[in-house]
């Protein structure tokens, strides 16, 4: 894709990210957007705004962003949605995380410095995968420990 179309795609999502993440100014100068407001609607709010978030990622893909940068962008949105499931805490997180602004920033940085952005994104994605794996192993080990403790208690071998 030529540079003009790349920047056209970037500019077409900048306004959307601002609308979703930082259009309004609240108390104490906190910026927020429609994502935080619509996200107040349980279940459907975050799902609805995620469609717009993934549109931003699709535009980045169309303009040639590397797969690892796109994965990092998706992780930004998924983290916001995952924590958004939690009542109150998720809504507060929505006001601060601003995945759309982060993703537009990644989009822009990639087109100014593709190698550095891709390398840093690979580090972030790799670190995230290691953290997820470590969490899964810890949960699995904890489940085994609890199961053995319950069996021990039920059989009277404690």
- Contact by Cβ (8 Å): 43, 57: no
DSSP state of 27: G
DSSP state of 86: S
pTM for this structure?
Answer: 0.85
Q: Residue 87's pLDDT is what?
A: 85
CA 18 to chain centroid, in Å, comes to 16
Q: Which is it for strands 31-32 and 24-25: parallel, antiparallel or unpaired?
A: antiparallel
Q: Residue 5's pLDDT is what?
A: 58
CA 104 to chain centroid, in Å, comes to 12
Q: What is the mean pLDDT of each run of 10 residues along the chain (158 residues)?
A: 65 92 91 91 87 96 95 96 88 90 96 95 96 97 96 87
Q: Residue 57's pLDDT is what?
A: 97
Q: Residue 53's pLDDT is what?
A: 96
How far apart, in whole angstroms, are the C-alpha atoms of residue 35 and residue 37? 6
């Amino acid at each position: 894709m030529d540079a003009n179309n790349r920047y056209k795609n970037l500019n077409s999502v900048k306004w959307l990210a601002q609308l979703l993440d930082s259009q309004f100014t609240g108390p104490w100068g906190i910026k927020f957007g429609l994502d935080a407001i619509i996200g107040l609607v349980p279940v459907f709010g975050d799902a609805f705004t995620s469609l717009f978030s993934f549109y931003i990622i699709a535009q980045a893909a169309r303009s040639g962003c590397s797969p690892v940068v796109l994965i990092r962008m998706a992780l930004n949105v998924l983290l916001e949605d995952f924590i958004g499931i939690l009542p109150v805490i998720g809504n507060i997180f929505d006001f601060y995380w601003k995945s759309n602004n982060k993703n537009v920033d990644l989009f822009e940085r990639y087109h100014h410095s593709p190698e550095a952005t891709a390398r840093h994104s690979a580090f972030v994605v790799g670190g995230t995968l290691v953290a997820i794996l470590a969490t899964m192993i810890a949960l699995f080990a904890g489940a085994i420990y609890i199961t053995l403790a319950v069996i021990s208690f039920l059989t009277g071998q404690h």
